[in-house]
């Protein structure tokens, strides 16, 4: 396939857990991958190897999604030549604490990755998508942003903000054939949930188990396909029934 015909998907926070599963899934769907990660070079290399094993290309991009200069250094020149068809805003992390003990840094850091990262990465890619009049943006949010979780005021606020941004942006760009949706995982078996008290959580999940990164990735894959050509502004839960 000629380079100009190869569709590209950029995944932020793509080196582990859900991001890695999304990268592998979209590669199997035929996308070349631009894989963003911050510092885990070994994990990113493993994902790149998996992408390339199915015959797709993987460009590794090590930058902090909250750093405008680093984003520009990695994306500006590339976007003059190529436009990703898919952007998955997956970068995010948690620093849990009850609000009475939460520091301002813990508040700002969590919001910055989810919200500043969304804005700083999405804006230049969105401009390119609008010029081409096509694109898919998928934001990875969380049940925490829909229902609220004690001890996660910062994380719940960040993900709730991203849900609002998803809906507003979908309204802005639908006429240019750029579709914007969010996938909202519940408890997914990743490094982030490894330290949680599973014995207390499982009884609260109607399906009685944690989900897998691949189950989240399958919904992202659908939203990036032609089968989802009439879906925008939606928040799709992958949560085993814990939030309805």
Q: HSE on the CB side for 52, CA within 13 Å? A: 11
Answer for the pair 139, 166: CB distance below 8 angstroms, yes or no.
yes
- Assess whether 230 carries a catalytic annotation: no
**Cα gap 138→128, rounded to integer Å:** 16
Distance, CA of 196 to CA of 244 (rounded, Å): 22
Would you mind telling me the total number of residues written for the chain in this entry? 244
- Residue 97 is classified by DSSP as B
Look at the alpha carbons of 214, 226, 122, 5 in this order and tell me if their dihedral is positive or negative: positive
Catalytic residue among 37, 155, 230, 243: 155
> Using an 8 Å Cβ cutoff, are 24 and 51 in contact?
yes
- The set of catalytic residues is 155
């Amino acid at each position: 396939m000629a380079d100009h015909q190869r569709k590209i998907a950029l995944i932020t926070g793509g080196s582990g857990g859900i991001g890695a599963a999304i990268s592998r899934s979209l590669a199997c769907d035929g996308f070349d991958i631009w894989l963003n990660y911050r510092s885990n070079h070994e994990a990113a290399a493993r994902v790149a190897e998996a992408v390339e094993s199915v015959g797709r290309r993987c460009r590794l991009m090590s930058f902090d999604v909250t750093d405008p200069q680093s984003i520009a250094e990695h994306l500006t020149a590339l976007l003059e030549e190529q436009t990703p068809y898919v952007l998955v805003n997956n970068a995010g992390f948690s620093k849990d604490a009850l609000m009475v003990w939460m520091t301002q840094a813990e508040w700002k850091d969590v919001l910055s990755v989810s919200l500043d990262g969304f804005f700083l990465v999405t804006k230049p890619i969105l401009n390119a998508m609008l010029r081409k009049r096509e694109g898919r943006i998928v934001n990875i949010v969380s049940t925490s942003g829909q229902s609220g979780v004690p001890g996660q005021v910062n994380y719940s606020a960040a993900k709730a903000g991203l849900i609002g941004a998803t809906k507003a942006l979908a309204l802005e760009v639908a006429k240019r054939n750029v579709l914007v949706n969010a996938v909202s995982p519940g408890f997914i078996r990743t490094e982030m949930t490894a330290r949680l008290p599973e014995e207390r959580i499982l009884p609260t999940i109607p399906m009685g188990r944690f989900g897998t990164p691949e189950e989240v990735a399958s919904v992202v894959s659908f939203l990036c396909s032609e089968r989802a050509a009439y879906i925008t502004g939606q928040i799709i839960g992958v949560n085993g029934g814990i939030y309805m």
